[in-house]
Amino acid sequence: MNMENRTGQDPILEVKNINSFYGKAHILHDLSLEMERGTVAVLLGRNGVGKSTTLKSIMGIVTPKSGEITFKGQTITGMPPYKICSLGLGYVPEDRRIFTGLTVMENLEVGRRPPREGFEPWTPERLFELFPNLGNMKNRLGGQLSGGEQQMLTIARTLMGNPELIILDEPSEGLAPVIVEQLGETITRLKKEGVSILLAEQNLNFARAICDRVFIVDHGHVCFDDAICNLTEEVCELHLAV
Ligand SMILES: Nc1ncnc2c1ncn2[C@@H]1O[C@H](COP(=O)(O)OP(=O)(O)O)[C@@H](O)[C@H]1O
Ligand SMILES: [Mg+2]
């Protein structure tokens, strides 16, 4: 196990020089990032730069042709997604799929996985403290929830798997500003509970409000990597302006 790293802290996730493809299309070019345990990190970047492909590569949905990904010091490159999940990674994809014919409670039960040593396991009761709206609609069918409620339910269901690191692909997309604000509070509370969080986002203000670290992705490569407080307008203009 290689415990060395640049900052000398405690990285939960390290992505080293990965190259990912769809068929012959080369999407990620030597993409690297490193995330500290207990922090919230964000991949920012324009549409189509490779944010979702990076998250899919971490989850084993896309297998990088070269490079290495380690989670808690263990190499996970090439592992199937279910195995990566079982190590303590949770993933909420862009399409935030819920079971529309199951109730809120049943959706949560589907996500239940064994507890993780050293962490208090998530239960529906504990999750309803974090997501009071869901607690008020336990028996409602998933298909009857609003977009914001469905997004909260996908996050809650993923937490039922007791992940140490949760990956959210554009969680604020399509949500009303007041719901985005609630989502931000939820993410901040999760961080306080000790969950590490990696998100892909296009909403710069949302990212600034909740994240510790930023990785800007452009053309399948991380071109800026720093504390989010060091993200300057010049950098945003260069890599994020459309
Ligand atoms: N399943 C796929 N097959 C082929 N090309 C894809 C597929 N998914 C994404 N792409 C392409 O890969 C590039 C990166 O996409 P993606 O990672 O989804 O970007 P982002 O999440 O930053 O918007 C885009 O050019 C996109 O068209
Ligand atoms: Mg995407």
Q: Do residues 184 and 152 lie in contact, with contact meaning Cβ atoms separated by under 8 Å?
A: no
pLDDT category of residue 118 using cuts at 50, 70 and 90: confident
In whole angstroms, how far apart are CA 60 and each of 69, 117, 181?
10, 24, 31
Cβ neighbors of 175 (< 8 A, separation 6 or more) are: 147, 148, 151, 183
* Confidence (pLDDT) at 161: 96
Q: How far apart are CA 28 and CA 38, in angstroms?
A: 26
Q: Whose alpha carbon is nearest atom 7 of ligand 1?
A: 22
User: What atom in ligand 1 is closest to the CA of residue 220?
Assistant: 14
Instruction: Say how many Å lie between the CA of residue 158 and the centre of ligand 2.
Output: 19
**Among 84-88, 163-167, 237-241, which is the least confidently predicted range?**
237-241
Nearest CA to 217 out of 1, 78, 15, 40 is that of 15
Q: What's the domain range around 33?
A: 1-86+196-242
Q: Is 52 in the pocket of ligand 1 (CB under 6 A)?
A: yes
Mean of pLDDT over the chain = 94
pLDDT tops 70 at residue 5: no
Instruction: For residue 70, give the CATH number of its domain.
Output: 3.40.50.300
Q: Whose alpha carbon is nearest atom 4 of ligand 1?
A: 22
pLDDT, tens digit, 9 for 90 and up, residues 202-241:
999 999 999 999 999 999 999 999 999 999 999 999 999 8
Residue 73 included in any domain: yes
Mean pLDDT of 150-177: 96
Q: How far apart are CA 49 and CA 18, in angstroms?
A: 15
Residue 103 included in any domain: no
* Confidence (pLDDT) at 123: 97
Q: State which residues have CB under 5 angstroms from ligand 2, the bound ion.
A: 51-52
Mean pLDDT of 13-19: 98
15, 18, 29, 52, best to mutate for ligand 1 pocket (most atoms within 8 Å of CB): 52
Residue 59 included in any domain: yes
* Confidence (pLDDT) at 8: 54
Q: Is 53 in the pocket of ligand 1 (CB under 6 A)?
A: yes
Q: Is 55 in the pocket of ligand 1 (CB under 6 A)?
A: no
pLDDT category of residue 1 using cuts at 50, 70 and 90: very low
- State the total domains in the chain: 1
